[in-house]
Amino acid sequence: MMNIEQRNVGIDILRAISMLMIAVHHVLLHGSILAQADPLTSQYRVAWFMEITCFCAVNVYGMISGYVGYGKSHHLSRFLQLYFQVIFYTMVTIMIFHFIRPELVTGKIVLHAIFPFAFDVYWYYTGYFCLFFLMPFLDRLMEGLTRKEADRLMLTVFIIFCVVQTIFNQQFSFSNNGYSFLWLAIMYLAGTYIKKYDLGKGNGRNYLIGYFLCVLLIWFLKIGYERIIYIWTLEQRSSERFINYTSPFVALCAVCLVVAFKEMKKGKIASKIAKFLASVSFDVYLFHDAPLVRDTFILGAFSSYLFLNPAAMMAAVLGTALAIWLIGSLIGRLRILIFSLFRMNKLCDILAAGLENLTGRLLKYNS
């Protein structure tokens, strides 16, 4: 398998941008802006336009994993580094809340913090936990396919998991609207496909236009459908059929962004900034979506933005998301310094070597 070491600046930048988009999504969703907006107001339409613009970010993150992972070795030490990164946030959060809100810290919470993958503390990490061990096999699958076979595979997956499910509004594939290991595996596979065949080479601008067209289409489908239903029945019905991770248009949004940013021109200054932002982007997610942090500081906290005019509301949402992103990035930088001080990478290398040696002995014993 090819070994590709050079970083793609555009992909690093997109990793940071997609995490900012996730913060916007959480402000709108967990902050109760979407739930409490009146469907007949401009604030409702603007809020949902922002939501749709950012909604593909999780798919983007999954595709990036496939794009940067294809052609590289998946070391167990990297998996352990990620695990310690996650429990850093769960345990530090618990220690802080032990002093400011001790009634919230229970034995169950501590158990969940130590084993976040087993209790779905962060659904994305839980999915990634399962996905990691299959990544080498997904890479081998994509590597062994011809272009025609790969095209057929991706088209088949798109039709079954995106088109058919959206048309019939049924989760018969157990993809759980994208909140699952299965969907992350599909996004990973899509990223390997983009990498292997250098999809959209030289056409980054066209794919960026495609992204905005998909966003507008989803928004018009939602607002138009709701308006027609209201005219016919005088009832306000919210429709999110095309706004889930497995929606064909949301999936296409993610593809367009990954292709557009991988084609971004490189520069030395941009490369350094992008590398730093990419290194702390997952920290932003772990920081602000930690259950205690989310439930205490974000859940239902931003519905008052709906009293602002649409432009001011948009600025407030973006400003709040940017603040979350900046604070998370600074904490991420602090976490990196702490890990460096305690030589966590070296510790993970030692643990990984021990686990791999033990696994090798077990396999040899059973063979």
pLDDT tens for the chain, residues 1 to 367: 444 446 789 999 999 999 999 999 999 999 999 999 999 899 999 999 999 999 999 999 999 999 999 999 999 999 999 999 999 999 999 999 999 999 999 999 999 999 999 999 999 999 999 999 999 999 999 999 999 999 999 999 999 999 998 888 777 777 888 999 999 999 999 999 999 999 999 899 999 999 999 999 999 999 998 888 888 887 777 788 899 999 999 999 999 999 999 988 776 666 777 888 888 999 999 999 999 999 999 999 999 999 999 999 999 999 999 999 999 999 999 999 999 999 999 999 999 999 988 877 776 765 5
Give the dihedral of Cα atoms 70, 333, 30, 104; nearest 10 deg: 120
Phi, psi of 55 (to 5 degrees): -65, -25
Cβ-contact 191, 69 below 8 angstroms: yes
What is the structure's pLDDT at 265?
74
Q: Give the angle subtended at the CA of 317 by the CAs of 45 and 28, to the nearest 5°.
A: 60
Question: How much is the pTM?
Answer: 0.93
What is the structure's pLDDT at 360?
78
What is the structure's pLDDT at 219?
97
Q: Give me the helices (H) in 30-114, please.
A: 33-36, 42-54, 57-69, 76-100, 107-114
Cβ-contact 215, 53 below 8 angstroms: yes
The Cα 110–Cα 102 span in angstroms is: 12
Residue with tokens 């080479």: 201
The Cα 214–Cα 180 span in angstroms is: 23
> Which tokens go with 218?
């989803």
> Which tokens go with 177?
């609207």
The Cα 343–Cα 338 span in angstroms is: 8
